[in-house]
Amino acid sequence: MSYQVLARKWRPANFETLVGQEHVQRALVNALDEGRLHHAYLFTGTRGVGKTTIARIFAKALNCETGVTSKPCGVCGACREITEGRFVDLIEVDAASRTGVDDTRELLENVQYAPTRGRYKVYLIDEVHMFSKSSFNALLKTLEEPPPHVKFLLATTDPQKLPVTILSRCLQFNLKRLPVGLIISYLQSILETDGVEHDLISLQMLAEAADGSMRDALSLMDQALAFGGGGIRENEIREMLGTISRDKVLNILRALIDRDAAATLAAVEVLAALTPDYENVLVELLSLFHHMALAKKVPEALDDYVSEREAVLALSGQLSSEDLQLFYQIALIGRRDLSLAPDLRTGLEMVLLRMLSFRPVTAGKTAVAAASPTSAQAAQTGTTQPASAPLSNASPSASPPPRVAEPSPPLAAAPAPPAAARPAAVNRDSRDWREILQGLPISGMVKQLAANCVLCEITDQIIQLSVGEGHKQLCNVKSEKRLQQALCEYFDRDLRLEIVVAKAATAVAEPVDGRIETPAQSQARETNERQRRAESSVEEDGFVQALKENFNAEIVPGSVKPVS
């Protein structure tokens, strides 16, 4: 007898042996038992999760000679013929090879005729998203008014490509990707039934390589059995899949934990002698970081079959959760960018050196004096800083020394801090509204509102602003609430914000030329003054005057700009 591949040999023949799609199984079983049958079903999901298998089991359930049942007998003529693929009333179509409208019309021209052999005529259309627009239109007409003896079972890996008119006429079932643990259990049960030598680490590697597909897992196990001469062994599976032995990767991890760059590169040198796939090295590191994070936070979630489990548990205690998360993120981004490196080994080495060069920052704390370069922290929350950053000699509790502001050359001005950042020193006793506004972490419409107000009154409980008639449309509940929150943060106390029309209050600020200015007006006045000074400076320049006198030169209006 010829050999039958595992994916076909172990294909479920009924709903009881179906693995991992309980939500679909339950719905179909209830529909069959209660006689609530729809005329069209759509099964979606990635490859190898059971779409066509479920459709064939459903076809058996509809046509079993014992009657419509959720438990087809499997031994009657209809059940056996469906299993063997020769049931005349089960019309299976691969839409990828029959995309034309003529093919679809030919397929559906016999829909109106009663089934020849069974109770229902079942159309199983695989990869239905490959149909052309005209083919969908032809199918739609039949789906709108199907004969009572016809059932449509559609399967696709890409439901987004189906017209909404088709989707709305089908009962949709989304099949899930199968978890690694479930695939391992199924593979193990098959190997134990067949009496095949195996180990759990090997099954784990096969299950992870299958990427949620049971069919891929069975195909890989077929390949492994051929590669290993009838057995499933870890070293042979690693060789077949091109994966790296975890002990080699653990040597890299130990060097990273010790912050030893030389030892890290030496571990890569040992690895290079095996001519590995360097992307797989990063994949193995990512898997290792994941297992360590589980061991650190939820030890009971770490499966028993994890390779080098005891070493993973031990090393997880030597690395902080913050370092672990940072390592994972760097490895993840490094894997994405690995193909851009001059060569893959260089890319891997730079990823590892990046892990040694940065340390995470504790949320809510700024940089302070460090005992060693490896414990230096960034000054801003949520960022990383090189481990070799210069150390500050200042005491954490020391106040900053006073400095006298000096004018800087126009082109040498220091870059402004981010708009949302609070100034290093906040004067909470200030009554200068423009100074207060510069320290508020606001932007957009909220900042426009604040810039067109003047400060009228401020106490321990209340801050009152006034806005002009021409800008009162800027006032709304959302902007006022955000401005109130920013003021509470600035003054470090709870404040109630009141905004009134300008005529109703007297401002705290000193008048300028007999009038009270808003920050927006003040800034506009200063901008105009700088513009006038710039234009006057150009007009009075001797060289410009000589050009005017000798060549009738003119200054282009609007071309003179002050140096910012």
- Residue ranges per structural domain of the chain: 6-174, 180-241, 246-359, 433-517, 519-564
H or E stretch including 217? helix 214-227
The rounded mean pLDDT for the chain is 82
**pLDDT number for residue 460:** 86
Which residues, at least 6 apart from 8, have a Cβ–Cβ distance to it below 8 Å?
A: none
Specify the CATH architecture of the domain 180-241.
Orthogonal Bundle (1.10)
Long-range contacts of 68-72 (CB under 8 A, 24+ apart): 68/32, 68/35, 68/37, 68/119, 69/32, 69/33, 70/15, 70/28, 70/29, 70/32, 70/33, 71/14, 71/15, 71/16, 72/14
Angle between helices 321-337 and 278-297 (to 10 degrees): 160
What is the pLDDT, as a whole number, of residue 503? 62
Q: Residue 308: pLDDT above 80?
A: no
CATH of 246-359, picked from 1.10.1660.10, 1.10.3290.10, 2.130.10.30, 1.20.272.10, is 1.20.272.10
Say if residue 62's pLDDT is above 90. Answer: yes
pLDDT at 1 over 60: no
Residue 510: what pLDDT?
Answer: 54
Total residue count of the chain as it appears in this document: 564
What is the average per-residue pLDDT within 128-142?
89
Which of 343-352, 360-369, 498-507 bottoms out in mean pLDDT, i.e. has the lowest? 360-369
HSE toward the beta carbon, residue 553, CA cutoff 13 A: 12
pLDDT for 411: 35
Distances (CA, A) of 144 to 23, 136, 154, 279, 534: 27, 12, 15, 50, 77
- Structure confidence at residue 419 (pLDDT): 42
**Residue 392's pLDDT band (boundaries 50, 70, 90)?**
very low
Q: Is the pLDDT of residue 160 over 60?
A: yes
The pLDDT of residue 373 is above 50: no
Res. 545: pLDDT tops 60: yes
Mean of pLDDT values over 390-395: 36
Least confident of 147-156, 163-172, 386-395, 500-509: 386-395
Domains 6-174 and 180-241 share a fold: no
**Of the ranges 184-193, 312-321, 394-403, 441-450, which one carries the lowest mean pLDDT score?**
394-403
What's residue 508's pLDDT? 57
Q: Which two tokens stand for residue 66?
A: 């014992």
pLDDT tens digits, 219-237: 999 999 988 888 888 888 8
φ and ψ of 512, to 5 deg? -120, 115
Q: Mean of the pLDDT values across residues 542-546?
A: 87
Q: Which of 121-125, 243-247, 475-479, 528-532 has the weakest average pLDDT?
A: 243-247
Q: Which CATH architecture describes the domain 6-174? A: 3-Layer(aba) Sandwich (3.40)
CATH code that applies to domain 433-517: 3.30.300.150
Q: Which is more confidently placed, 374 or 130? A: 130
DSSP 512: B
* pLDDT over 60 at 445, yes or no: yes
CA gap 216, 92 in Å, rounded: 22
Beta-sheet pairing, 385-386 with 171-174: unpaired
- Percentage with pLDDT > 70 across the chain: 85
Q: What does the pLDDT read at residue 229?
A: 84
Strand partners, 150: 121
Mean pLDDT on 368-374: 35
State yes or no: pLDDT of 426 exceeds 80: no
Please say if the pLDDT value at position 262 is more than 50: yes
Token pair recorded at residue 94 = 């691969």
d(CA 138, CA 144): 11
Rounded to whole angstroms, the Cα distance separating 29 from 146 reads: 23
Query: Which pLDDT tens digit goes with each residue over 76-90?
Result: 999 999 999 899 999
Q: Are 200 and 190 in contact (CB under 8 A)?
A: no
- Asked if 161 contacts 129 with a C-beta cutoff of 8 angstroms, the reply is yes
Q: If you average pLDDT over residues 363-378, what whole number do you get?
A: 38
Burial class for 260, CB neighbours closer than 10 Å (0-12, 13-18, 19+): middle
Q: Rounded CA gap, 283 and 242, in Å?
A: 12
Question: What's the confidence (pLDDT) of residue 128?
Answer: 92
pLDDT at 548 over 90: no
Average the pLDDT over 487-496 and give the result: 89
Percent of the chain with pLDDT over 90: 40
pLDDT band at 384 (very low <50, low <70, confident <90, very high): very low
Angle between helix axes 214-227 and 234-241 (nearest 10 degrees) is: 110
When pLDDT is averaged across residues 95-124 and rounded to a whole number, the result is 86
Distance between CA 134 and CA 139 in Å, rounded? 9
* C-alpha distances in Å from residue 439, one per residue of 447, 489, 519: 11, 10, 13
Helix and strand numbers, DSSP H then E, in the chain: 22, 10
Decide which of 138 and 245 is more confident: 138
Is 372 a residue whose pLDDT tops 70? no
Q: What pLDDT is attached to residue 243?
A: 73
Predicted confidence band of residue 261 (pLDDT cuts 50, 70, 90) = very high
pLDDT at 20: 87
Confidence of residue 539 (pLDDT cuts 50, 70, 90): confident
Q: At residue 131, what are phi and psi to the nearest 5 degrees?
A: -60, 150
Whether the pLDDT of residue 309 is over 50: the answer is yes
When pLDDT is averaged across residues 268-284 and rounded to a whole number, the result is 88
**Helices marked H in 17-159:** 22-34, 51-63, 77-83, 101-108, 133-144
- Let me know: does 468 contact 502? Beta carbons within 8 Å: yes
Q: What is the mean pLDDT of residues 498-517?
A: 64
Quick one: pLDDT at residue 515? 64
* pLDDT at residue 525 is higher than 70: yes
- Nearest partner of 350 among 259, 265, 254, judged by Cα: 265
User: What distance in Å separates the CA atoms of residue 220 and residue 210, rounded to the nearest whole number?
Assistant: 8
Identify the pLDDT of residue 393: 36
What is the model's pLDDT at position 75?
A: 92
**Mean pLDDT of all residues in 425-434:** 70
